[in-house]
Amino acid sequence: MSRQGEEMPYSELVKNFNKIREYMRDFYVYGFKSRDGFSGRSTRTYDDERRRIESWLSDYMQFQMTSDGKVVSISIDSRRRGHNPFYKAWKTKSFTDGDITLHFILMDILPEGGREEEADSPGTDQVPAGHEAAEGLTIGEIVDRVDDVLLEFPGARTFDESTIRKKLKEYCQEGIVLSEKCGRTVRYRRAGSPVPIDAQALHFFSEVAPCGVIGAYCADKQEEEKSLFTFKHHYITSAMDSEILCEIFLAMRKKNFMTVETVLPKEKRSRKGIFVPLQVRVSAQSGRQHLMAYSYESRRIVPLRIDHIVSACAGRVCAEYDQYRKAYEKIAPTVWGVSTHSWSGKRMEHVEFTVRFGPGEEYIYGRLLREKRVGSVELLDPEHARFRADVCDASELVPWMRTFIGRLSEVHFSNPVLEEKFKSDIGQMYAMYGIRSGEGGES
């Protein structure tokens, strides 16, 4: 926050969310770095960001002394929390004294412009007390009314017409103020009063829907109601990428190109490229989010990790958008995770494996059926089932296939390098845990 727009030395509010995004991710996802581990940033910057994050997330912060110094981490069991604690960070945007003063005065003096959304809103059950509908105010009338309010405070700053006009323009863009041109005069009104949205719907979707923080914003402006939900396998880190995700959605709706800047964690430099955003692919099992986009540089559809994107700006409309989307829809049934190309350079790779299960272990067959995604499953006999898939990149199946260790009776990849690696990794695991190959017998 600032006095008349001047920056104060430390404030718990921030101007640019990217500034704290990386710190939060490091504290939460990794949680082992000391201050010295945050290379490239001054100790003052580190201390300020740590203090900010601590003021919002103090209940989840842990401190540990190691030989490298004090290590800060954020530890959250997301299953025990009804709400994503990282949303607090999204409610810390800095503003000036003038911003907040004008906000509450404008929202108070502007007449309301009707409640057009009332009839159709989901879960509405009451209409809030609001401002009477009336003709809007001109800029001159607004300036006078603001002055009238501030007259009570000798020495308080005043707002000139251009400042108020700028704020009204900003609010029109946000959709909370409506402007109407009557001849040469522009009149301003508040948009309709917010109509309460079902509180449980907000609780639920603010946790599971993309850009869920927007649901949390809606809930903040309503009467509080305890959430009836908890969440298992709940990856809350994606909250930190909400702004990027939102920009991506807005560009997709308008079929725009995007200039996307990415930074890989271990690389210092960033990369910029022009892309056509096509779909967001989300993993419920790892929380990772990828943007599937057509790349003009590589001339193909590629996945971009959304947490590696530092900026995403929409450009002009892409005339071939529908064409690229169709091309993506064509390859999507052969994508296991997000990879659209294999290391082998082959267009498609085949993978198949057989699992063995004993009497009473039919749930293993059930597991294959519910986890097969784009593959197919065949029951060979009462104790064996085979999985098969033809995919763009078979290496993406390896982690999942390892979850059947102990039951794999046959494994085959069309890519011999992958098959060799898969088998040698298992051999390495035998060595790690002191298992002699073949000692299990046919039990």
Partner 1 sequence: MLFSELYSAYYNAVAAILREALEGPVTPDTMRRIIGKHASNESALTIVPALTDGRWPLLREDGTPVIRHVPTMPLTTLQKQWINAISRDPRMRLLIEADGEEAAAGLPFPEEDVLFTPEDVCVYDAYADGDPYEDPAYRAHFREILRALREGSALRMQVRNRHGNPMMVTMMPDHLEYSEKDNKFRLYGNASHRNDIVNLARIESVERCEREEVRKSRSVRQGKPAKVEFLLLDERKALERVMLHFAHLEKRTEKLDEKNYRVTLYYDGFDETELLIRLLSFGPLVKVVEPGRFLDLIRERLTNQSGLDL
Residues 249-308 that bind partner 1 (CB under 8 A): 249-250, 252-253, 265, 279-288
Q: Per CB under 8 A, does 317 bind partner 1?
A: no
Interacting stretch for partner 1, rule CB under 8 A, among 30-38, 293-301, 313-321, 381-389?
Answer: 30-38
Residue 54's alpha-carbon distances to 17, 18, 33, 130, in angstroms, are 16, 17, 16, 37
Residue 421's alpha-carbon distances to 260, 375, 387, 400, in angstroms, are 34, 21, 19, 15
**Is 27 or 184 the residue whose CB approaches partner 1 more closely?**
27
SS3 readout for 403-426: CCCCCEEEEEECCHHHHHHHHHHH
Q: Which of 393, 357, 356, 355 is CA-nearest to residue 374?
A: 393
Strand partners, 274: 259
Q: Per CB under 8 A, does 386 bind partner 1?
A: no
Interacting stretch for partner 1, rule CB under 8 A, among 54-62, 135-143, 314-322, 340-348?
Answer: 54-62
Distance (Å, whole) CA 156 – CA 143 = 15
Q: Per CB under 8 A, does 198 bind partner 1?
A: yes
Distance (Å, whole) CA 97 – CA 394 = 57
Q: Which of 127, 182, 369, 417 binds partner 1 (CB under 8 A)?
A: 369
Q: Which of 274, 310, 327, 332 binds partner 1 (CB under 8 A)?
A: 332
Q: Which of 402, 416, 417, 420 binds partner 1 (CB under 8 A)?
A: 402
Q: Which of 153, 147, 163, 137 is CA-nearest to residue 105?
A: 147
Q: Per CB under 8 A, does 360 bind partner 1?
A: no
Looking at residues 32 to 51 of the shown chain, list those that interact with partner 1 (rule: CB under 8 A). 32
Q: Per CB under 8 A, does 378 bind partner 1?
A: no
Minimum CB separation from partner 1 for residue 87, in Å?
A: 10
Q: Mask of contacts with partner 1, 55-84, x by CB under 8 A?
A: xx-x---x-x-x-x----x-xxxxx-----
Give me the torsion for CA of 172, 174, 175, 177, rounded to 10°. -40
Minimum CB separation from partner 1 for residue 78, in Å?
A: 4
Q: What is the C-alpha radius of gyration for the chain, rounded to an integer number of angstroms?
A: 28
Q: Which of 46, 231, 357, 387 binds partner 1 (CB under 8 A)?
A: 231
**Is 41 or 221 the residue whose CB approaches partner 1 more closely?**
221
Neighbours of 162 (CB within 10 A): 9
Minimum CB separation from partner 1 for residue 184, in Å?
A: 26
Neighbours of 212 (CB within 10 A): 21
Q: Which of 204, 257, 321, 324 binds partner 1 (CB under 8 A)?
A: 204
Size of the residue set binding partner 1 (CB under 8 A): 153
Q: Which of 49, 83, 101, 352 binds partner 1 (CB under 8 A)?
A: 101
Q: Per CB under 8 A, does 127 bind partner 1?
A: no
What token pair was written down for 346?
Answer: 């082959």
Looking at residues 140 to 159 of the shown chain, list those that interact with partner 1 (rule: CB under 8 A). 149-150, 152-153, 155-156
Q: In what order do the strands lie in the sheet with 376-381?
A: 376-381, 384-391, 349-356, 408-413
Minimum CB separation from partner 1 for residue 432, in Å?
A: 5
Interacting stretch for partner 1, rule CB under 8 A, among 136-144, 179-187, 233-241, 340-348?
Answer: 233-241
Q: Per CB under 8 A, does 220 bind partner 1?
A: yes
Minimum CB separation from partner 1 for residue 384, in Å?
A: 11
DSSP state of 15: S
CB 344 within 8 A of CB 415: yes
Q: Per CB under 8 A, does 335 bind partner 1?
A: yes
Interacting stretch for partner 1, rule CB under 8 A, among 38-46, 235-243, 309-317, 342-350?
Answer: 235-243
Instruction: Count CA atoms closer than 13 A to 213's CA, side-chain side.
Output: 20
Distance in angstroms between the alpha carbons of the first and the last residue of the chain: 68
What token pair was written down for 136?
Answer: 């809007």
Interacting stretch for partner 1, rule CB under 8 A, among 186-194, 294-302, 315-323, 344-352?
Answer: 186-194
**Is 366 or 382 the residue whose CB approaches partner 1 more closely?**
366
Long-range contacts of 425-434 (CB under 8 A, 24+ apart): 426/402, 429/405
Kindly state the greatest CA–CA separation across the chain. Answer: 91
Distance (Å, whole) CA 319 – CA 414 = 38
Q: Which of 103, 165, 346, 388 binds partner 1 (CB under 8 A)?
A: 103
Q: Per CB under 8 A, does 364 bind partner 1?
A: no
Q: Which of 236, 260, 392, 394 binds partner 1 (CB under 8 A)?
A: 236
Q: Per CB under 8 A, does 165 bind partner 1?
A: no
Instruction: Count CA atoms closer than 13 A to 402's CA, side-chain side.
Output: 14
